[in-house]
Amino acid sequence: MKTFISLLCAMLFSTAIILTDAVAGDGLAAVYGGYNSKPSNNKMYLFDGKDYVRWHSANAQMDQGYPRDISAWQVLPHNIDAGVYAGYSKGAFNNKLYIFKDSYYWRWNIEKGKVDKGYPKLISKGWPGLPDNLDAAVYGGYSKSSRNNKLYFFKDAYYYRWDIEKDILDAGYPKLIRNGWPGLPDNLQMAVYAGYSSLERSNKLYFFKGNSYWRWNISNDRADANYPLSVSGNWPGLR
């Protein structure tokens, strides 16, 4: 009987760990800071647990004085799941940032530099059709392709496409990552739109998993050749 109880306790403990890992996320997320008159203009923000760094899109290096504690983002929690810059539209999405954790999301007002009133809200209410506990999210950038000015959300082996102008999940989603983003892995950890610069990072998307990252060419709508590359070797200051 003692042996049985010991085995049962071990099984329950293992199950608890698996469930916790499945819903807690890894605390890795990234978001483009948008266009504005503040220091966040044309910058990338990359989060790891309770810390974040600000990456300069134009000169491809981390700004001085980082990493910093996420408390600088006021009410945002530690260990966020994903973040996304919402691009330009005629509606409430216009030039806003959205931060996701578990089943909730926050809307960040870029110009005011703070979370909008009334947040957080439930993902199921504000983004019907999207799952909780997202892996990553990214703004699709500007191009002549179907990705133009769309938002993409990733979970496990699937991705979702959100229409900013209509404020709805596009029909036919979710779809498999391997079919819509050939060359990218499942279970991504974070993704970010790189903004504009004179460097080869300009108007590109970056996807991260472990110590590897992939660069997506928006204009050609495909992963750039010779990727993945090492995060530690090309993004100094990031883990």
Q: Each residue of 54-70: pLDDT tens digit? A: 988 767 788 899 999 99
pLDDT at residue 7 tops 80:
no
Owner of token pair 């928006």: 218
pLDDT at residue 19 tops 50:
no
> Which amino acid type is present at position 113?
G
Average confidence score pLDDT of the chain: 83
CA distance 61 to 235: 7
Confidence of residue 47 (pLDDT cuts 50, 70, 90): very high
CATH superfamily label, 26-234: Hemopexin-like domain (2.110.10.10)
CA distance 3 to 170: 53
3-state SS, residue 124: helix
Q: Taking the domains of the chain in order of start, what are their residue ranges?
A: 26-234
Q: Are 237 and 54 in contact (CB under 8 A)?
A: no
Phi, psi of 74 (to 5 degrees): 60, -105
Confidence of residue 12 (pLDDT cuts 50, 70, 90): very low
Q: Each residue of 57-109: pLDDT tens digit? A: 767 788 899 999 999 898 899 999 999 998 877 777 777 999 999 999 999 98
Output the pLDDT for position 231: 92
CA distance 195 to 86: 12
Output the pLDDT for position 74: 86
Q: Are 108 and 114 in contact (CB under 8 A)?
A: yes
Phi, psi of 12 (to 5 degrees): -65, -40
Confidence of residue 24 (pLDDT cuts 50, 70, 90): very low
Owner of token pair 């979710």: 174
CA distance 166 to 85: 17
pTM score? 0.85
- Of residues 159 and 144, more confidently modeled: 159
Confidence of residue 2 (pLDDT cuts 50, 70, 90): very low
